[in-house]
Structure 1
Amino acid sequence: MTVVFECVHAGERHFGLGLPGPEAPLRLYPLGGDTLAALASASDDTTEALLDRLTRDRAPVEAGRDEVRLLPPLLPTHLGDALVSGFMMTHNVKVDAEVPDQPNWFVKGLGDVLKVPGEPLSVPADAVHVCEEAEVVLVYVGDSQGVPRYAGYTFGNDLTDIGRFKQHAGHLSYAKLCDAGVAPWLHLGEPPRSVTGEATIERDGAPAWKGTFTTGSDALHYELPALMSRLFAYRALHHPGRVHYVYLGADRSSFHGGFRTADGDGVTLDFTSHGVRLSHPLAWSS
């Protein structure tokens, strides 16, 4: 599976290829004023042709991990050009035969709610019961006509005030207004059918709760192509260059395990099947 990522190095945007090891230096290509989103969505190239076009005539440089700031995949320079949203109650373990043919959709915010590993995830001060949600995240870019075109997938943590939603089902929109963790690695190719891993919550430097999770398109109650085509049939979501990050829902979380998170807890989602790890501290807003 081919992976691309973007970062800021020496004050300029660069991109790299592959899923780097935690200690390995990064081989980076300067964007030189271009945007990776525009370059990656400019044509229907094969993956090999796309990578050749991306790297052609760009001299690579090497940088240590402490010399770069990793970015969410394809993040626009103007954060208002990114829309972060998702679906709830999508997984087989959460639904039954009586569910509607399209699950509830929600908006988490614009590009500034996306946090890469290491950055704090902000929680509203009056949150009732916050939990992690390990999810596949689909990334789309609006073409010249504004139609969202699939670019690839990554992984994320759709942090949710599930306690508020449980108190009042109509308050889903408020429950989702927490920051969202996202991996910087964009996987080129079809969304994964099966994803497995483990969530760990640390408190005062020690594990306080652990649980496994399963996601991917095989775990969904809905057919993914139909789910996305129906969502993007709405013209209100069409805008040239807009980057969409769509969180596909989770199966189980620490909430279902009876655990209550708190300010300062560290949440790690290890997407073991795909070699991706997200770690974030939780920070209740003042």
Structure 2
Amino acid sequence: MRVIQFIEDGQLCVGVVAGDDEIEVSGAREGVYGLALQAAREGVALEALVRRLDSGRRVRYQSLVDERRLLPPVTHPDAARMLISGTGLTHLGSAASRDAMHAKLQEDTNLTDSMKMFKLGVEGGKPAAGQAGAQPEWFYKGDGSLLVAPECDFPVPGFALDAGEEPELVGVYVIDDQGAPRRIGFAVGNEFSDHLTERFNYLWLAHSKLRPCAFGPELLLGEPPADLRGASRIVRGGEVLWEKPFVTGEANMSHTLANLEHHHFKYPQFRRPGDLHVHYFGTATLSFSDQIRTVDGDRFEISLDGFGRPLRNAVRFEPAPAVVGVTSL
């Protein structure tokens, strides 16, 4: 089952994707977040609860797109309680690059920090069930206030050096009343980063990640296939400027999802009841690697087989901000 969120008459609505252009409208009024908490409290499957609340009403999917009424497929009523984070150096990439990487890992005794981190994942990122494996790279992205809805623009701050896409699988989680993480589902994501800032010095990675992001428009309930294949493209002036296939899912990763989830939720502060977590699982495909630099109005389009319609967002460059001054009280 794939679900979406949208606005109708000023109200948050939940819909189930029933066809290419048909959405079954749910009677739920507290969004997917509210449904997830209700399912946890009742001890029922989220998909069954969504089915139970079907209103019998239908709307056209395309009209929601055209009128820009789509929302991210999960939101929190308090944006500050929606934590967005991610992990990097988690994907093996293509077979050719994988072979080259493994050869280098065996031959080079003077590895960079990034290569050392990748090596940790290759050697210990897929432990046996119930065991903790290698700890991945982890970064903080922001809270729900930086989340951009599908079909809307990414604001690029004037101090940014770059505005590049990162096509990724996203996991969405709610913390139940007992403080246990509960997986809601998975979506296509664009983690969107400043790669020039990161490349200048890897210690600026944290700065490069403090940018808007998006996921959706659809949320897949249940487990995703292990081998996921999609496409990432940039459209400029109505024509495709750049396009590449990308792969994700555990079959194409050096870590299991369970291992990445453990190393996020092992911290008690990430298990506060009622909080929502959005986690980007990483990628091996970037237009930046092909020397692409985006300009105002470029549109990202990211699709993943089995996840419905593509995630589309354009970039909008903002003027340089004034220096932020701080005054004493």
DSSP 3-state at the match of 1:18: strand
Equivalent pair of 2:162/2:194 in contact (CA under 8 Å):
yes
* 1:162-203 deviation line (CA, Å, top 9, x unaligned): 111111101111111121121131111113312212222122
Higher mean Cα deviation, 143-152 or 41-50? 41-50
1:133 aligns with 2:159: no
Summarize the Cα distance change of 1:47–1:243 in structure 2 as closer, same or farther, 3 Å threshold.
Answer: closer
Please tell me the root mean square deviation across aligned C-alpha atoms, in Å.
2.3
* Structure 1 residue 44 displacement after superposition: 4.1
Q: Which residue of 1 aligns with 2:14?
A: 15
1:61 aligns with 2:57: yes
Equivalent pair of 1:134/1:269 in contact (CA under 8 Å):
yes
Q: Which residue of 2 aligns with 1:79?
A: 79
* Structure number having the greater helix percentage: 2
Q: Which residue of 1 aligns with 2:211?
A: 178
Q: Which residue of 2 aligns with 1:254?
A: 287
Which of 133, 137, 142 matches 1:109? 142
Q: Which residue of 2 aligns with 1:91?
A: 91
* Structure 1 residue 274 displacement after superposition: 3.6
* Structure number having the greater strand percentage: 1
In 1, the alpha carbon distance for the partners of 2:278 and 2:301 equals: 20
| Higher radius of gyration, 1 or 2 | 2
Which of 229, 244, 265 matches 1:232? 265
DSSP 3-state at the match of 2:197: helix
Equivalent pair of 1:41/1:141 in contact (CA under 8 Å):
no
- Tell me the TM-score normalised to structure 2 length: 0.78
Summarize the Cα distance change of 1:49–1:27 in structure 2 as closer, same or farther, 3 Å threshold.
Answer: closer
Q: Equivalences for 1:122-161 in 2 at 5 Å?
A: 122-161=155-194
Letter in 2 for 1:89: L
Q: Which residue of 2 aligns with 1:263?
A: 296
1:29 aligns with 2:36: no
* Structure 1 residue 47 displacement after superposition: 5.7
* 1:196-230 deviation line (CA, Å, top 9, x unaligned): 12222122222221222111121111122122112
Equivalent pair of 2:217/2:311 in contact (CA under 8 Å):
no
**Could you tell me the percent identity over the aligned residues?**
31
In 1, the alpha carbon distance for the partners of 2:79 and 2:47 equals: 30
Higher mean Cα deviation, 191-200 or 41-50? 41-50
Equivalent pair of 2:186/2:220 in contact (CA under 8 Å):
yes
In 2, the alpha carbon distance for the partners of 1:63 and 1:28 equals: 7
Equivalent pair of 1:195/1:274 in contact (CA under 8 Å):
no
Runs ≥4 in structure 1, deviation > 6 angstroms? none
Equivalent pair of 2:166/2:285 in contact (CA under 8 Å):
yes
Summarize the Cα distance change of 1:267–1:19 in structure 2 as closer, same or farther, 3 Å threshold.
Answer: farther
Summarize the Cα distance change of 1:281–1:124 in structure 2 as closer, same or farther, 3 Å threshold.
Answer: same
Higher mean Cα deviation, 169-178 or 186-195? 186-195
Summarize the Cα distance change of 1:281–1:174 in structure 2 as closer, same or farther, 3 Å threshold.
Answer: same
Summarize the Cα distance change of 1:43–1:227 in structure 2 as closer, same or farther, 3 Å threshold.
Answer: farther
Summarize the Cα distance change of 1:205–1:110 in structure 2 as closer, same or farther, 3 Å threshold.
Answer: same
In 1, the alpha carbon distance for the partners of 2:18 and 2:279 equals: 22
* 1:33-53 deviation line (CA, Å, top 9, x unaligned): 572332343344246633344
In 2, the alpha carbon distance for the partners of 1:256 and 1:131 equals: 10
In 1, the alpha carbon distance for the partners of 2:39 and 2:245 equals: 34
In 2, the alpha carbon distance for the partners of 1:274 and 1:111 equals: 22
Which of 190, 193, 218 matches 2:226? 193
Letter in 1 for 2:13: H
- Tell me the TM-score normalised to structure 1 length: 0.89
Letter in 1 for 2:172: V
Structure 1, gaps ≥5 residues long: none
In 2, the alpha carbon distance for the partners of 1:220 and 1:6 equals: 29
Which of 138, 151, 156 matches 1:118? 151
Summarize the Cα distance change of 1:28–1:208 in structure 2 as closer, same or farther, 3 Å threshold.
Answer: same
